Chain A
Amino acid sequence: MPILQDDRFTRGTVRRARHHVSGLHFVLIFASIALLVFARLDHPWIHRLEAKLGNLLREPLKLASMRLEPLTRFRNRLQRAYEDEPVLDRLRAENARLRAENRVLRRRDAERIELARLAKLTPAEPERYATAHIIARGNGPFRHVLTIDIGRANGARRGHPVVRDGELIGHLAWVGTHVARVLLLEDERSRIPVVVGDANIPAIAAGGYGTGPRLLFVPRDAAIRSADRVSTSGAGGVLPLGLRLGVIRKNGPFWHITQVHAGAPGPLVQVLFHEPHNLAVVPFKHKPLTTTSRLVTAPRGRTGSGKPGEAIVE
Chain B
Amino acid sequence: MMIIVPFAVLSLVCATAVAALVQTATNTANGAWALLPVIVIHAFATRAPAAMPSWLVFVAGMTVDFATQGPPGYWALVYLAGLLWIRLAIASSARGGLRRAAAALGTVLVVAVVQYLAGSLYLMRFASLASIVDTTVVIGVLIMSVEFILPNFPMDIRPGDAALPNLRRRG
Contact = CB atoms under 8 A, between A and B. Distances in A.
B127 A209 contact: yes
Interface string A8-49: 111111111111111011001101111111111000001001
Contacts of A137: 24-27
A32 B73 contact: yes
A69 B25 CA distance: 7
Interface stretch (A104-112, A142-150, A228-236, A269-277): A142-150
Contact of A143 (B25, B27, B71): B71
B127 A34 contact: no
Interface of B is mostly: helix
Contacts of B161: 15, 17
A65 B24 contact: yes
Chain A interface bracket (under 10, 10 to 19, 20 to 34, 35 or more):
35 or more
A75 B26 CA distance: 8
Q: Quick one: which of A13, A71, A209 has the most chain B CB within 10 A?
A: A209
Contacts of B31: 140-141
B90 A19 contact: yes
Contact of A209 (B21, B118, B128): B128
Interface in B109-140: 115, 118-119, 121-124, 127-128, 130-132
A184 B73 CA distance: 22
A15 B162 contact: yes
Given A17-B156, A17-B158, A142-B123, A136 B80 contact: no
B23 interface: yes
Nearest to B125: A209
Given A14-B167, A16-B154, A72-B25, A139 B68 contact: yes
Given A15-B163, A71-B25, A137-B25, A25 B66 contact: no
Interface of B: 21-31, 34, 49-50, 54-55, 57-58, 61, 66-74, 76-77, 80-81, 83-84, 87-88, 90-91, 94-95, 115, 118-119, 121-124, 127-128, 130-132, 153-154, 156-158, 161-163, 165-167, 169-170
Interface of A: 6, 8-22, 24-25, 28-29, 31-40, 46, 49-50, 53, 57, 61, 64-65, 67-69, 71-72, 75-76, 79, 136-145, 147, 181, 186, 188, 209-211, 262-265
